[in-house]
Structure 1
Amino acid sequence: MMKMRLAAICLLAAVLLLSACGKKDIKNGVDWPIQDFTATTQANKPLGLKDLKGKVWISDFVFTSCADVCPPMTSNMAKLQKMVKDEGLKNVEFVSFSVDPTVDSPDVLTKYAKSFGADFNNWNFLTGYSQDFIEKFATKNFKTLVKKPQEGNQVIHQTFIYLVDQDGHIRKNYSGFKDVPFEEIISDIKTLQ
C-alpha cells in the first residue's frame, strides 16, 4: 500500500512538472492561434507569420486616414516600442495591420509611421492584402471587428493592442487607445521571454 502511494505521488509530481513546461502563465491571458498570412511591409517587402516565429510581438490594427483613434494608438505603440528598447528586451517585434489596404500603400504607411517616430528595425506596418481578407483575418484570429462601410473613408475597428508569443499565439489584449497598461505589457513580455 505504501509503495502504491509513493508511486501515485511520484506520478502526480511528474505530471505537475511536465505541465509547467508548457505555455508561460500570463494573468487573464488567452491562447488564440494566428493563421498564416502574407502581407507587404512599409518597405515593400513580404512578411508573414513564419517571419515572426521565435519572437514575441505586439500588434494592432490602424489606418492612415483615421480621424480619431489611430493617431493616439500609434503614438502609444511608439511609446511601448521605446519602453521595450529601454528595458533591453530582445526579439520583440511590432506589427501594425492596416485596415484600409487599398489606401495604405507602402509609401503612405512609411510616411505615417515616420510621423510617429517608428523605429523600422522592429516595427512593420502591413498592407498588400484585400479588404475582405483583413476583415475576416481580424475576426477569426484576433476576435476583433474590422469593417469598411460602403460610404465614407473611415474604417470601423476596435482599439486593442495584442501580445503574441513566439509560436504565433495571441496571449493577451489590452486597451491601445486610453489608459494603456504599459507596465503590465512590459511585464507580460518578460514573462513570455
Structure 2
Amino acid sequence: MFRIIFFSFTLLILFSSAASDEMAQKDEILSSRSESPGGDFVLYSSQGKVSLKQFRGKVVLLYFGYTKCPDVCPTSLSIIAQALNELSEEELKSVHGVFISVDPKRDDVQVLDEYVRHFHPNLVGVTGSEGEVTEVARRYGAQYEEVALEGSDFGYAVNHSSVTYLITPEGDLRFMLPHQTPAFVILEAIRYLLADTM
C-alpha cells in the first residue's frame, strides 16, 4: 500500500519554519485506500518513450494539464518552477517534473516541448493516445473533460483537476498538493522526500 498525504488549505496555512517536522509527523498517520492511486506508466516526449520507472532515484513532480489552458496550468507550473528554482544544483539532480497533457489531440510532443521549456529545464512534457492518457489519469485520480467553446478559435477547452503529485525516489505516490499550494510548501515536500537519498 502506498502512503499518501493530501494537504488541505487549512494545513497549508499552518505551515511554518517547522514544515519538515510537521510532514514527518503527518507521515505517521497517513490514510490508506483499498486501491491506492499512482503507479508506473509509459507515455511519449520528443525524445521518445518516457516511463515513471526511468526516474527511479529521483523525486518526481507530476501534473496533468494542457498547453492551451488559460490560467490554471501556467499558474501551477510557475509555482512548481519557483520551488525548483530554490533547490541547490545538487538537489536538482535528484528532482524532475513531468507534465502530462490531457489534450492529446492538440498537444503533440513538439508543442509540449516548447511549452514546458518556458517554465523550467527539469520539466518534460509527455502525451500518448487518448486511451493511454485516460488510463494514466484514472490511476492517479485526475479528472478532465472537454467543454465546447462557442465562437472560439480553440473550439473547446479542457476542464481538469489541478493537483501536483509528488512521487518518491522509489516510485510511490506520497503527496497530493492542491491547486495554488505555495511554492515553499512544495519545496519542503521535495526536501522531505529527498532526505533519505541525499
How far is 1:185 from its partner? Answer: 2.1
Q: Alignment partner of 1:167: what SS?
A: coil
What CA distance in whole angstroms lies between the structure 1 residues aligned with 2:100 and 2:112?
10
Could you list the runs of 4 or more consecutive aligned residues of structure 1 that deviate by over 6 angstroms after TM superposition?
Answer: none
Q: Alignment partner of 1:81: what SS?
A: helix
How far is 1:89 from its partner? Answer: 4.8
What CA distance in whole angstroms lies between the structure 2 residues aligned with 1:178 and 1:143?
18
Q: TM-score, normalised by structure 2?
A: 0.70
Q: Cα distance 1:96–1:85, how it changes in 2: closer, same or farther (>3 A)?
A: farther
Q: TM-score, normalised by structure 1?
A: 0.71
1:49 aligns with 2:52: yes
Aligned to 1:182: 186
How far is 1:75 from its partner? Answer: 0.9
Select 1:60's aligned residue among 46, 58, 63. Answer: 63
Q: Structure 1: which amino acid aligns with 2:190?
A: I
What CA distance in whole angstroms lies between the structure 1 residues aligned with 2:196 and 2:177?
16
Radius of gyration: which is bigger?
1
Q: Structure 1: which amino acid aligns with 2:186?
A: F
Q: Cα distance 1:30–1:137, how it changes in 2: closer, same or farther (>3 A)?
A: farther
How far is 1:178 from its partner? Answer: 5.1
Q: Percent identity?
A: 27
- Count of equivalent residues: 164
Q: Alignment partner of 1:155: what SS?
A: strand
What CA distance in whole angstroms lies between the structure 2 residues aligned with 1:156 and 1:192?
37
Aligned to 2:42: 38
1:126 aligns with 2:126: yes
What CA distance in whole angstroms lies between the structure 2 residues aligned with 1:111 and 1:34?
27
How far is 1:73 from its partner? Answer: 1.0
Q: How large is the RMSD of aligned CA atoms in angstroms?
A: 2.7
Q: Alignment partner of 1:171: what SS?
A: strand
Select 2:146's aligned residue among 142, 145, 148. Answer: 148
How far is 1:46 from its partner? Answer: 1.1
Residue correspondence of structure 1 range 162-177 to structure 2 within 5 A: 162-177=165-180
How far is 1:104 from its partner? Answer: 0.9
Contact persistence 1:165–1:192 (CA under 8 A) = no
Question: Any stretches of 5+ residues in structure 2 without a counterpart?
Answer: 1-22, 150-154
What CA distance in whole angstroms lies between the structure 2 residues aligned with 1:111 and 1:157?
21
Aligned to 1:10: none
How far is 1:165 from its partner? Answer: 1.0
